[in-house]
Chains A and B, each alone.
Chain A
């Protein structure tokens, strides 16, 4: 969320100048004077999709945490429908007390240096990741033990059904070749192996001849690490075959390239501080609570008044979908939690029933001397969030709620997240995110449950989900926490957030490249589109 600061002047500059010069460019495009055979082939394609891991490619430090570590393979993985399927594992069981996961692994797996991959490597990887201060969180693990060459036991501190996501995302590293230099010279059992990494510039990888799965369709991949604007320029110059672009550039057309508009759970929503301000503060002394958004009628009115489809069309250029909860499109979404929105009449009625009315005729409703007015913060560097925030404020004014929109830096927003509404963006295949957004115990003064939402019944349901023996059995509980017909944290229930939209990720892909059916992608950073990269094929000769 915070990591990429974009210099939007650059984008504007490239766009403007690009359009100015587009006229003279189109005529001369067939003069391939300098482009040395950059057309792409089954031998080699060039991808400009950002996401360089400047720290290196060590899974125990967080590389591949979005589930496609490329150089390494994982015990399990998610297929295109996000079902969990075996990868390195041949199966797994969870003990009755749900604290011991026993995984059996395939016996034909080798690392790219030819060494066999055994249970000892798996145990080493999990233990190492648990003690490393990196970007993958394996703190739930007590210890991992290899009980024989091809069986490993993962012993947890407490039951955690979402732990399966670590089996899906943590790439297995070789115990014999792992050390401080590993991040720059990864050795793994994944479909590709590293050939050369020019930091800040490009990464060249080639198919791993020792890969146990089907050989990848493209022999060599080149990842270019350029700014978004330069990536777009590279696509226009015919030098890249897969390019991720911001929605604002997706409306353009590039010859020889197709636009892929991939659904995601990369969502944007409005977080409300839940309790009223009672002088309570976080451990750091930051204030908690808001006198207006603590009122259920206000939160529900916002949810019903917002026209989400209009936001998709107006702000996202149509590349997105309405969001009514945090997990749109995933198996654990509760469809009954969806509401019919864009209903200012209903919003007004909710406000009236909640005791809010416009007594002084200024167009804004009041209740017990309190005006229905609150501040909405958004990161000023993000133009999409700015447009969403302004549009929502615009949509709520006729209903009688005044939203004051303020763009700030994250460093200024952070201390205020517990007492002002904030336009956040999340979205993950890992259910613990939902748990951390809504469980009252997660509220500790940071970004976990920043609004201090608290509902004991929801807490119990979330705990049941986390304690369930498997993801499949947890789904019913995850859904019930959203809306079980009587209560939930979504709009019909406590309306703890007003979720607005899911972004679609937009890519230009060469017409000659078949990238299969992409998954519903998580929050943008990383390389979500590479999840099935081993299955990509070049269709032109």
Chain B
């Protein structure tokens, strides 16, 4: 593999990413300046009658809200160049710190959900495709269609009520047992609390991947080369192993990396239901209270996250499929 094509590929990706982030920042600022939410009012909330106009002025000054949006954008951009993402109004903390803390919590959730949904989705898709038309296929499709059309938070609530309130086998909330100091939380307690949110998130991700894999496998199985292999006496297992999996792995991988954005969106809802203090929960707070620096920070971060996901998929292509050469076809 030559070095030059990869460098070109990466630098193009980086330029695109920079442009994307700039566009995202401008859009977020413009949208928020058009939003009817007054950040000072949102900050004061219920205490309106005990905050005098003088105090209101102090609050606006403290957060720079007495400046016009354009000035604030300029200030923010200037800070960003120096590596400072600004200060969150909601958490009264540097934005980078908030995102860092919150994402560490979300990451485990996302990682587990991503792995489960990928493996399970692939497995179910292969099973359904290999036994097309049988009761196995119909069962898997019913499951996939039902979940694909269920709202995430609703599934989360049902699972919470069933497993936590009725059966009492899973915890009711949070990332650790209430009242236990963080240094005393065992690995198993940790996993126990992660389980239900991660399962919720993954069983919804499964549907998409399973259906696409199934479709692709059916295509492969009805191709000429499979017919030829069958004619030579290859078993179903052998066909799947030698022809099926190789051909469906590529689209499955694309889907798997593309599903990062869906997972990210789903985690916002799931974290709310399970009081799981990750980035999703912070996003909701930032939006409801017009916390511009935090919201821009999170949007930035999620754009980076999804973008890297897609880039990884692109890079993985050439590892799996020798026919794809970066140098030959240019980027992506």
Q: A residues engaging B (CB < 8 A)?
A: 1-3, 5, 10, 13-14, 17-18, 21, 24-25, 28-29, 31-36, 38, 44, 46, 54-56, 61-62, 65, 131-135, 137, 139, 183-184, 195-196, 198-202, 204, 220, 222, 224-227, 230, 233-234, 236-237, 239-240, 409-412, 414, 426, 428, 430, 432-433, 436-437, 444, 446-448, 523-525
Please choose the segment from B37-45, B199-207, B231-239, B316-324 that sits at the chain A interface, where 4 or more of its residues have CB less than 8 A away: B37-45
Interface string of B171-186 (1 = CB under 8 A from A): 1111111110110000
Quick one: given A14-B161, A133-B55, A135-B51, are A237 and B172 in contact (CB under 8 Å)?
Answer: yes
Question: Closest CB-CB distance, B218 to chain A, in whole Å?
Answer: 37
Query: Contacts A132-B62, A204-B181; is A14 near B101 (CB within 8 Å)?
Result: no
- Given A1-B46, A44-B179, A412-B36, check contact A199 B172 (CB 8 Å): no
Instruction: Enumerate chain B residues within 8 angstroms of A38, measured Cβ to Cβ.
Output: 178-179
For the residues of B in contact with A, the DSSP-based class is helix
Q: Say yes or no: A426 contacts B172, CB within 8 Å.
A: no
- Chain B nearest CB: distance from A380 CB in Å? 14
Give A24 Cβ to nearest chain B Cβ, in Å: 6
Partner of B161, one of A18, A32, A227, A428: A18
Contact partners of A14 in chain B: CB under 8 A? 157, 161
Least Cβ distance of B330 to chain A in Å?
44
Other-chain contact of A411, B36, B48, B51, B55 (Cβ < 8 Å): B36
In chain A, what residue has the closest Cβ to B44? Answer: A135
Are the CB atoms of A1 and B161 closer together than 8 Å? Answer: no
CB pair B171–A34 under 8 Å, yes or no, is: yes
Q: Provide the residues of chain B in CB contact with A65, threshold 8 Å.
A: 47, 50
B16-48: CB near A (< 8 Å → 1, else 0) gives: 000000000000000000001110011111111
Query: Is B160 among interface residues, defined by CB-CB distance under 8 A?
Result: yes
Leading 10 A-B pairs by shortest Cβ distance: A200-B277, A133-B62, A3-B45, A411-B36, A133-B58, A222-B179, A133-B59, A139-B54, A137-B55, A226-B275
B277 touches A198 (CB 8 A): yes
Is B83 among interface residues, defined by CB-CB distance under 8 A? no
Least Cβ–Cβ distance between A150 and chain B, in angstroms: 29
Q: Which residue of A lies closest to B192 (CB)?
A: A34
Q: 26 pairs across A/B with beta carbons < 8 Å?
A: A2-B48, A3-B45, A10-B153, A18-B161, A18-B165, A21-B161, A25-B165, A25-B166, A54-B90, A54-B285, A55-B92, A131-B58, A133-B63, A135-B51, A137-B54, A199-B91, A201-B175, A201-B276, A201-B277, A226-B275, A230-B172, A233-B172, A237-B168, A237-B172, A433-B49, A525-B46
Contact of B59 among A134, A199, A412 (CB under 8 A): A134
Contact with A along B121-153 (1 / 0, CB 8 A): 000000000000000000000000000000001
Neighbouring A residues of B192 by C-beta, 8 Å: 34
Q: Is B331 an interface residue (CB 8 A)?
A: no
Q: Is the CB of B305 closer than 8 A to any CB of chain A?
A: no
Given the known interface contacts A198-B176, A525-B45, the answer about A34 and B275 at a Cβ–Cβ threshold of 8 Å is: no
Q: Which residues of B contact A196 (CB under 8 A)?
A: 181-182
Establish whether residues B52 and A139, one from each chain, have CB atoms under 8 Å apart when the complex forms.
yes
Q: Given A131, A195, A226, which contacts B181 in the complex, CB threshold below 8 Å?
A: A195
**B275/A135 in contact, CB under 8 A:** no
In the complex, whether B225 has a CB less than 8 A from a CB of chain A is: no
The secondary structure that dominates the A interface is loop
Report how far A17 CA is from B168 CA in the complex, Å: 16
Chain B residue with minimal CB distance to A3?
B45
Given A21-B165, A233-B164, CB of A13 within 8 Å of CB of B157? yes
Q: A residues within 8 A CB of B54? A: 137, 139
Contact assessment for B50 and A137 in the assembled complex, using a CB-CB cutoff below 8 Å: yes
Chain B: minimal CB distance from A240 (Å): 8
Q: Which residues of B contact A224 (CB under 8 A)?
A: 173-174, 178, 275
| Residue from A1, A55, A412, A432 in contact with B90 in the complex, judged by beta carbons closer than 8 Å | A55
In the complex, what distance in Å separates the CA atom of A35 from the CA atom of B171?
8
B45 to chain A, nearest CB (A): 3
Choose among B36, B61, B102, B275 the residue that contacts A230 (Cβ–Cβ < 8 A). B275
Asked if A33 and B277 make an inter-chain contact with CB atoms under 8 angstroms apart, the answer reads no
14 additional A-B pairs beyond A17-B157, A17-B158, A430-B50, beta carbons within 8 Å, are A1-B46, A61-B92, A133-B62, A137-B54, A139-B58, A198-B277, A200-B275, A200-B281, A202-B174, A222-B178, A225-B275, A226-B172, A230-B173, A525-B45
* Distance from B285 Cβ to chain A, minimum over Cβ atoms (Å): 7
Task: Compute how far the CA of A426 lies from the CA of B182 in the bound complex, rounded to whole angstroms.
Answer: 39
Asked whether A139 and B166 contact (CB < 8 A) given A1-B45, A239-B172, the answer is no
Pairwise interchain contact A433-B45, C-beta atoms closer than 8 A = no
Cα–Cα distance between A133 and B42 once the two chains are bound (Å): 14
Is B288's CB within 8 Å of the partner chain A?
yes
Residues of A within 8 A of B44 (CB): 135
B53 and A444 within 8 A (CB): yes
Judging by beta carbons under 8 Å apart, are A201 and B174 in contact?
yes
B308 within 8 A of A: no
Q: Which residues of A contact B15 (CB under 8 A)?
A: none
Shortest C-beta distance, A26 to chain B (Å), equals: 9
